[in-house]
Amino acid sequence: MGILAAIGVLLPFPFYWWLWTNPQSWVNLCGQGRDPSTVMARVSHVLKAAQLLSLFSVASLSWPPLYFWPLIAFGQFLNFRVYQLLGEAGTYYGVRFGKNIPWVTEFPFGVIRDPQYVGSIMSLLACLSWVPFQYILLWCLGYGFMMLVESKEDPSARAKSVS
């Protein structure tokens, strides 16, 4: 089960990389009348479910240690706040798909770099008492890879709307 769990944990990252580096291909694939951010969100939710099932396949659940509660609470707060401020289009690469997404400076932006990834990593670290370290590390490395990819955005590579 170990190799399958590792593959499941890493599954979304090639998809995210492809979307970030080839946004026009995704916009074209989605076609006219379909919002590429909404389609990305739906695919991402399926991939997230696969990731979580992969973790559960190697987990041994027990009562959480004390460090669990602040990590999961603040991590999920960051994720919720990012989604609240950016919406679906801002969270799911809308700017790469040619949408005009306003720049946000409210907390946690401007205070924490990559707050959604930081929140997700905090939530994963909260699960260390249940899930073997190597699976948490793989997932965190995937987030680190995407932070690096997304930090090198080329505005000229943004997609144009399909008309």
Contact 5, 52 (CB under 8 A): no
| Buried/exposed code over 124-147 (b: 16+ C-beta within 10 A; e: otherwise) | bebbbebbeeebbebbbebbeebe
> Binding site for S-adenosyl-L-methionine: what residues are annotated?
73-75, 153-154
Phi, psi of 96 (to 5 degrees): -70, -25
* Residue that has been written with the tokens 């603040």 in this structure: 74
* Positive or negative torsion for Cα 33, 29, 93, 51: positive
Q: 3-state DSSP call for residue 111?
A: coil
> Binding site: what residues are annotated?
73-75, 153-154
